[in-house]
Amino acid sequence: RKEVEQDPGPFNVPEGATVAFNCTYSNSASQSFFWYRQDCRKEPKLLMSVYSSGNEDGRFTAQLNRASQYISLLIRDSKLSDSATYLCAVNNPNQAGTALIFGKGTTLSVSS
Amino acid sequence: DTEVTQTPKHLVMGMTNKKSLKCEQHMGHRAMYWYKQKAKKPPELMFVYSYEKLSINESVPSRFSPECPNSSLLNLHLHALQPEDSALYLCASSQDPSKQGTFYGYTFGSGTRLTVV
């Protein structure tokens, strides 16, 4: 089992749709979870941290399920500008400090 | 200042060249990272510096040599690279790694797109 796995997509949705991505991780000792957004040929940018109780930032909701070892990202009312690749990142508890392992990313394409 | 600045943005080098990538941050972060990202792949960790000391080397070939002159700067020295080393090289920083309970993730620089010919 790979350390961090994501469905690569692409997810093609119309404007206004709700879309959800999942990301599974293999090490149950991981403690830090993030969603990053990466536009084509750009650097990843932090979208949101994922907290145990779940958290929301505008149209974006992130959740953590420790029992099943996955995190999710829900995007409501999709905008054209949401089109990007969404990377999940999980800390590697086998390494000291804050080394993050990234999933391969899920590509979202929002169309009008 | 909430940015990580990387230079150069683009670099083309021959296999016998020596070049350096530079990264600078002024956010007071004490951990800095080098990642390599190839097209349609996730960023892969290369090196981690914590308090200016190398803490993680992910079995990176010696043709890549990191250096952390001070808490704000991180360099990656390149020598005798191969064409398969062509990639986007990303620098990142994060806050005090000893405070893992309040780890807020990385800030990435815009990267150096490296082409080895």
Residues in chain B with CB shorter than 8 Å from the CB of A84 are none
Question: Is-contact B47 B35, C-beta < 8 A?
Answer: no
pLDDT of residue B98: 64
Q: Is A18 helix (H, G, I), strand (E, B) or coil?
A: coil
Q: What is the pLDDT of residues A11-33, one digit of tens each?
A: 999 999 999 999 999 999 998 99
Residue A65: pLDDT over 80: yes
- The residue among A95, A32, A94, A17 whose CA lies nearest residue A66 is A32
Q: What percent of chain B has pLDDT over 90?
A: 82
Residue B96: pLDDT over 80: no
Q: Is A109 helix (H, G, I), strand (E, B) or coil?
A: strand
Residues in chain B with CB shorter than 8 Å from the CB of A89 are 105
Interface test with A, best of B54, B56, B93, B110 (most A CBs within 10 A): B56
A32, closest residue in chain B (CA to CA): B103
- Return the minimum-mean-pLDDT range out of A71-75, B27-31, B108-112: B27-31
pLDDT of residue B91: 98
Q: What are phi and psi of A92, to 5 degrees?
A: -95, 105
CB-closest option in B45, B104, B111 to A99:
B45
Tokens of B100: 């893992």
Distance of residue B114 Cα from the nearest chain A Cα, in angstroms: 12
Torsion of CA A79, A61, B45, B23, to 10 degrees: 60
Distance CA A85, CA A74 (A): 14
Strand order in the sheet with A4-6: A4-6, A19-25, A70-75, A60-65, A55-57
- Return the minimum-mean-pLDDT range out of A60-64, B8-12, B92-96: B92-96
Residues in chain A with CB shorter than 8 Å from the CB of B10 are none
pLDDT higher for B91 or A98?
B91
Interface test with B, best of A31, A43, A92 (most B CBs within 10 A): A43
A50, closest residue in chain B (CA to CA): B104
pLDDT of residue B72: 96
Question: Is-contact A8 A22, C-beta < 8 A?
Answer: no
CA angle, corner A79, sides to A74 and A82, nearest 5? 65
